[in-house]
């Protein structure tokens, strides 16, 4: 098969199980090269320390990245009590050590479970949040610390999996914008001994489970000149947005939508919707307001 030097025009989402030690951008570039995709982007970056689900959007699927980011996440995490690090994880420098041996499992479990529900959380300095266009982690590496406002996040469910030899294990289901490193640090603060993350794995993303993902080595094993086996692992963008209602339009409405024009639509509540034409072809994401459907992200 002759290849376009700029890459293939392919659309959809690859569910990658990112390995520990790899940045999200490095993982993205590896998948993009493997699929020889013209365009690609990731959603919901993972720290190099973290492993697990990293959706890689190919082609026009990059247009839904922002909508995927709004979904809940689920993590498995292990935290080490008694040590505070500058990055809130084991990749940073230990800045303080405190005794934790007086704590038992009952106390540790009670402290952890107290963080269920709506909580206020201060984002860590070592994060991709920006101040005047500069990522906070770059400022942190320069020894600069700035004040961060607490943000409201939701811990939908927290399962206590165990506590042994100063290590707490949890499974956490949470809203977008939740920092698990900050959660572990806050649990450590509540216990009076501090804590940092030693293992982090994203095991759920929206309705996606880790069992649906593939590691890069598994994708590599499917590589071939015609890309058939690889392309079979690409999910349709619309299939990964199950919480967004679908709306079908007729032929004329489909033409208007393709030109970015809003259309009159009956008997629909105001909401974000997935738009399909009369042949069930996915047109993109739209917004219904006051009886009109306005295209927001078109896949054409």
- Give me 273's structure tokens: 């919707």
Give CA 273 to chain center in angstroms. 21
Whether 260 and 254 have beta carbons less than 8 Å apart is answered as no
Q: Among the options 47, 71, 86, 186, which is catalytic?
A: 47
Please give the full DSSP string across 124-164, using - where no structure is assigned: PSSSS-EETTEEHHHHHHTT-------EEEEEEEEEEEEEE
Decide if 47 is catalytic.
Answer: yes
DSSP letter at 89 equals B
Whether 79 and 184 have beta carbons less than 8 Å apart is answered as yes
Q: Which of 18, 3, 21, 65 has the alpha carbon at shortest distance from 40?
A: 65
Catalytic residues: 47
């Amino acid at each position: 098969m002759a290849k376009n030097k700029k890459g293939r025009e392919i659309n959809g989402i690859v569910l990658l199980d990112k390995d520990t030690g790899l940045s999200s951008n490095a993982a993205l570039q590896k998948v993009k090269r493997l699929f020889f995709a013209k365009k690609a982007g990731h959603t919901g970056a993972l720290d190099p320390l973290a492993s697990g689900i990293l959706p890689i959007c190919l082609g026009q699927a990059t247009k839904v990245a922002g909508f995927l980011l709004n979904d809940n996440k689920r993590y498995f995490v292990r935290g080490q009590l008694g040590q505070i690090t500058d990055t809130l994880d084991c990749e940073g420098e230990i800045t303080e050590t405190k005794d934790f041996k007086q704590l038992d499992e009952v106390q540790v479990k009670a402290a952890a479970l107290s963080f269920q529900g709506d909580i206020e959380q201060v984002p860590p300095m070592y994060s991709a949040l920006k101040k005047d266009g500069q990522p906070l982690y770059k400022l942190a590496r320069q020894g600069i610390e700035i004040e961060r406002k607490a943000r409201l996040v939701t811990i939908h469910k927290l399962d206590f999996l165990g506590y042994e030899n100063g290590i707490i294990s949890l499974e956490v289901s949470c809203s977008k914008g939740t920092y698990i490193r900050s959660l572990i640090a806050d649990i450590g603060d509540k216990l009076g001994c501090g804590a940092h993350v030693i293992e982090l794995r994203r095991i759920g993303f929206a309705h996606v489970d880790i069992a649906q993902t593939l590691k890069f080595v598994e994708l590599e094993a499917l590589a071939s000149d015609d890309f058939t086996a690889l392309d079979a692992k690409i999910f349709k963008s619309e299939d990964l947005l199950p919480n967004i209602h679908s709306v079908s339009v007729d032929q004329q409405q489909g033409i208007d939508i393709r030109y970015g024009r809003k259309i009159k639509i009956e008997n629909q509540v105001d909401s974000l919707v997935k738009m399909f034409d009369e042949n069930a072809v996915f047109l993109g994401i739209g917004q219904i307001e006051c009886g009109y459907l306005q295209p927001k992200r078109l896949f054409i």
